[in-house]
Chain A
């Protein structure tokens, strides 16, 4: 009888629990039928092509970024919405002098670099510059399994109390090679 009661308890728990709906990461939001308790998963492992270390070099000047996948990540502001996210860290050296060195790959609240899937070869970029305390958006395009371009620009719109007055510290165009 004890086993029956236990079995009933397990069945009842599983059957009444809110289900997490899993979508492939390329699913348009218009095809989603829920607004909560869902997970955008990289089912086809597209992220494998971009995680790792990418480097651009021009004489004594270099930019190196490391990308990492965070499986089933959720922002604190929407704790029931999950995503396979790609976040990163980077180091920028100009004429042999280190300008920016972000040593840890962190999620919110210390997020500094993220890439968002748009297609298997195209990602949106959001990157923060601690020197100027501003950020830019952009695109990361895979041109081959080991090469990519990254272009950055100002996000559009009204900005007040934005940044510390210092200029943007990084280049806005990179031709990157996977290490």
Chain B
């Protein structure tokens, strides 16, 4: 009997253990935050500016170079290749907080398989113009937030998850970042919306440090009693710590030393109006968490650059390109030529005013019905290339002429060429580089159903991996197009091919982004992207 009871007890423990494991492996449910009363305090908001590497203040550029010397940086492109990834310099966010602390946020790319994480690099200039040690900030989304974020339902505004700061003054490598074993403990930012009366962020009204500012939201306007219009704008801020300079600086009353004590994270909707009114609406707040180890800390308002900023940045580049008169003129030539039987290619170069030019000397045209165009490589590095595809008529085995449909999207050879250009140092700046193709539709006699596509490089590290692979095995790219798991072919429709090309970029981690243009309005671009559930997402740039 006793033995039987013992067996039942063992079985009970086993079943209990299994149930605990299964519960723990389930995804957390998404919670919806409570609505909060708008508290229009007179709190000042950080000033936000965006820079590129060209416009970045010289003193910050120097600090960036200096701080990265220990990380084996090499300036082969304008982005900074470092031992653990790439610091992108095409869109840099500056936040200037009320106490004159300036934080410069850069997006960092790693060859990271985890789509729930992204990285920023932070340089802080203090109020006395000195610089603090720069650091890496890693954001890790919660499962529930990631589902909505990756499906385009949520933006970073409603961020849930945690972030971790990493000092770069100590030895740092990619494994260190990917394994989340940084020198700071992760700080949770979850959906606990409990209003804490002791929360100094919500209640002190004190000068605001330790916050992360997101992308600017809507702008609305009303009219004051004196008839002067009042404009209000909103932005999202993630306030990671309990007080102004916590998480590295202690609480704003100076009671706690760096990185000790209890701190909080929260997401706020921050509203500012031209009449001086405004305030924070708490969207998400974090649970208490205690830490005691020294770590690089946020101070002042720290900007966040996430995926949406990449899209904004690339759309701006395409808009700038589309405004170039040389681009417009040459593209019209290429579109007209899609109903011919040759391919034309131009290498593009930015002039002193950053306008793209396609000179006669950078033009090549294939032989008739040649299918491929083999232009001479550019004599010096370039900023883009544009070309067209066309119908091809050849004589078949029976001696009869047969007309073949051209590739309706970028071909494997087009991608091989851009990787070859990179390997041979023929690209000025990968993150600025743009490839455009004009492709014919089904009708050989008309350009009415022509399409225009563009590719930008969004992850230089992944692209470099691809370029290195193609340098060894050029036919690999044709293999990718030919693989049954993602066949891209002239035998299927343009719309299916464009989606499969976007899938190829995603699945093979090629670091490229596809945009579809409009041949009748070259300033109209749509990003074609694959979500992690395999669905296609199309976002217009305008």
Contacts and interface: CB of A to CB of B under 8 A. Distances in A.
Asked if chains A and B come from one complex, the reply is yes
B307 to A, nearest CB: 15
Contacts of A156: 371-372, 389, 392, 406-407, 411, 413
B520 interface: no
A89 B478 CA distance: 17
Contacts of A173: 397
Interface string B468-508: 01001111101101111111010000001001100100111
B411 A157 contact: yes
Given A77-B469, A157-B412, A30 B496 contact: yes
Nearest to A13: B21
A75 B508 CA distance: 9
A112 B476 CA distance: 10
Contacts of B412: 155, 157
A159 B479 contact: no
Interface stretch (B57-65, B221-229, B417-425): B417-425
A108 B472 CA distance: 9
Contacts, number: 175
Contacts of B13: 4
Contact of B474 (A75, A85, A110, A162): A162
Contact of B484 (A26, A30, A76, A159): A26
Contacts of B487: 29, 116, 118, 124
Nearest to A137: B478
B529 to A, nearest CB: 11
A36 B474 CA distance: 24
Interface in A134-179: 135, 137, 153-162, 173
Interface residues of A, number: 56
B156 interface: no
Given A32-B534, A36-B507, A77-B466, A161 B482 contact: no
A111 B473 contact: yes
B14 A160 contact: no
B458 to A, nearest CB: 16
B10 A4 contact: yes
A56 interface: no
Contacts of B413: 155-159, 162
A29 B485 contact: yes
B482 A137 contact: yes
Residue among A23, A38, A126, A155 with most chain B CB within 10 A: A155
A103 interface: no
B533 A157 contact: no
A114 B479 contact: yes
Given A40-B485, A114-B479, A173-B397, A159 B416 contact: yes
A77 B464 CA distance: 11
Interface residues of B, number: 67
A7 B507 contact: no
Given A1-B10, A114-B482, A77 B508 contact: yes
Contacts of A67: none
Nearest to A11: B18
A40 B484 contact: yes
Given A154-B371, A160-B417, A162-B413, 6 more contacts: A15-B25, A125-B482, A155-B412, A159-B417, A162-B374, A162-B416
Interface of A: 1, 4, 7-8, 11-12, 15-16, 23, 25-27, 29-30, 32-36, 38, 40, 75-78, 80-81, 83, 85, 108-112, 114, 116-118, 124-128, 135, 137, 153-162, 173
Interface of B: 10, 13-14, 17-18, 21-22, 25, 113, 343, 345, 370-377, 385, 387, 389, 392, 394, 397, 406-407, 410-414, 416-417, 420-421, 424, 465-466, 469, 472-476, 478-479, 481-487, 489, 496, 499-500, 503, 506-509, 530, 532-534
* Nearest 7 A/B pairs, CB to CB: A157-B413, A157-B411, A116-B482, A124-B482, A135-B475, A117-B484, A157-B414
30 contacts: A4-B10, A12-B21, A15-B22, A15-B25, A25-B485, A30-B496, A33-B534, A38-B485, A77-B469, A78-B509, A83-B484, A109-B472, A116-B483, A118-B487, A124-B489, A126-B475, A153-B371, A153-B394, A154-B371, A156-B371, A156-B392, A158-B375, A158-B414, A159-B413, A159-B417, A160-B376, A160-B421, A161-B424, A162-B374, A162-B416
